[in-house]
């Protein structure tokens, strides 16, 4: 089925659209797992996922790209729905970067019954590390938004570590 696309409403903030399309996801008890697991620096997986969804919507709005708003918000919010702490020293976590898009997708199908468009967005969000390129504009927006947000969180975490080391030495 062809996605229904339109310009995002300039009167709606990213937070409005996330609440409008993802209320069931945000109310799910599994968000508690995402809130406890760190993604980058000091940012939890839940904070990262919300920030990526907001960034994907912002990019679509600012660049006047017509999108399937529901797929964009839900696929983006669930893109890292892998539900474990990848910092735990489990041997298989070394492959986290390559495996987590598929684990997140399977979990999102099981818990929220996501459609094929959102599934494809989640599976391809780690391109080019995982050599499956995005195939829709929503998937490209997610892939780009994830890299922008992840870079910011990693740099922020790096600065926080330096600042706390300086504090410990003082």
Contacts of 79 (CB under 8 A, 6+ apart): 49, 52, 101, 104, 121, 122, 125, 142, 146
CB nearer Fe ion, residue 56 or residue 60: 56
Q: Which of residues 77-106 bind Fe ion (CB under 5 A)?
A: 80
Going through the chain in order, the beta strands assigned E by DSSP cover: 38-40, 43-44
Alpha-carbon dihedral 157, 158, 161, 166, rounded to 10 degrees = -140
Nearest CB to Fe ion, comparing residues 12 and 132: 132
> CB 34 → Fe ion: shortest distance, Å?
11
CB closer to Fe ion, 34 vs 80: 80
Least gap, CB of 147 to Fe ion (angstroms): 9
Site for Fe ion in 2-41 (CB under 5 A): none
CB of 79 to Fe ion, least distance (A): 6
Cα distances (Å, whole numbers) of residue 86 to 2, 41, 43, 159, 169: 35, 13, 13, 21, 30
Smaller CB separation from Fe ion, 118 or 146 = 146
Q: How many residues bind Fe ion (CB under 5 A)?
A: 2
Cβ at position 57, least distance to Fe ion in Å: 15
Which residues in 109-168 contact Fe ion (CB under 5 A)? 146
**Residues 7-27 as b or e (16 or more Cβ within 10 Å = b):** ebeeeeebeebbeebbeebee
Q: Report the interface residues with Fe ion, using CB under 5 A.
A: 80, 146
């Amino acid at each position: 089925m062809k996605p229904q696309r339109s310009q995002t409403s300039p009167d709606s903030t990213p937070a409005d659209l996330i609440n409008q399309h993802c209320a069931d996801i945000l109310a799910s008890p599994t968000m508690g797992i995402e809130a406890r697991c760190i993604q980058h620096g000091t940012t939890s997986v839940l904070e990262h996922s919300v920030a990526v969804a907001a960034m994907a919507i912002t990019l679509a709005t600012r660049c006047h790209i017509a999108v399937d708003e529901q797929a964009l918000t839900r696929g983006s919010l669930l893109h890292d729905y892998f539900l474990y702490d990848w910092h735990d020293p489990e041997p298989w976590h070394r492959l986290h970067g390559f495996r987590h898009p598929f684990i997140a997708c399977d979990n999102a199908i099981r818990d929220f019954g996501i459609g094929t468009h959102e599934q494809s967005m989640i599976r391809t969000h780690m391109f080019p590390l995982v050599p499956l390129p995005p195939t829709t504009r929503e998937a490209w927006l997610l892939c780009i938004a994830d890299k922008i947000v992840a870079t910011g969180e990693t740099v922020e975490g790096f600065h926080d570590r330096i600042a706390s080391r300086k504090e410990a030495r003082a």
